[in-house]
Amino acid sequence: MKVAVVTGASSGIGAATARELARLGWHCVLVARRQERLKPLAAELGGEYELCDVSDRSDVDRAAAAILMRHPSIDLLVNNAGIPGRGSFFTLEPERIEAVLRTNYLGGVWVVRALEPGLQPGSHVVNVVSVAGVVAFGPAGPYAASKHAQLAFSRSLAGLLGARGVQVHTILPGFVETEGFPQRSVLTSAFFRRAVIGPELVAERIVKAVESGKRELFVPRWYRVFALIQALLPGLSARLSARSGYRRS
């Protein structure tokens, strides 16, 4: 029985990924904060769940210990938990900026550290980052900063765990429509609204990355263009970012 631990599994990309894995025969351990979402999903998939706030290191250590007690070997860890941060460094509340960094970046660090004893040669770690990890989107600066940090963490982890035979995969989705990220209703750019994708596509690409050994993957692939613009033409990237943003609520 192949065991997969999926964080942020109560909705969106996490739930879609758990469903896709279960369909392929994986035994899923679902991790998130909302029991009212996790319990029925775990029952639907024939899996398990563990309540945990990944931004709380002590809570992560507790949940990981419980998981490792039941499953000493983890075949796949999907670090997907994340929260939105729509707003700039000047408009977003300081408490929200701190929460975004704790959840989107440090949450993955704490989860990998805590579950590291269960990662064996042949295991896989998937970090669901974002195109925001390579493009500094001004209207969501704190979110982009958290994803830049998460990308650096994922790349560093690839070298660290690769020597032990553990593969690390970095997934960089574009705008994805989920409960916490209602992109079609908040984006001002008509182009980006048309480019919004569903979580099921990301879930499919996560599984394919694990199966094929792909190390870094943009979803959809053409989003790589924005990473190249950021790297080669940062001034143009900044101007394009300034013309986009979120609608006022």
Give catalytic residues, as residue numbers. 143
| Cα dihedral value 73, 78, 79, 80, nearest 10 | -150
CA distance 73 to 165: 14
Cβ(115)–Cβ(77) under 8 Å? yes
The token pair at 33 is 């904060």
On the CB side of 9, CA atoms within 13 Å amount to 31
DSSP for 83-121 reads ----S-TTTS-HHHHHHHHIIIIIHHHHHHHHHGGGEEE
CB environment 204-239: b (16+ within 10 A), e (fewer): ebbbebbeeeeebbbbeeebeebbeebeeeeeebee
- Please tell me the distance from the alpha carbon of residue 220 to that of residue 196, in angstroms, as a whole number: 10
Cβ–Cβ < 8 Å for 202, 160: no
CB 18 within 8 A of CB 24: no
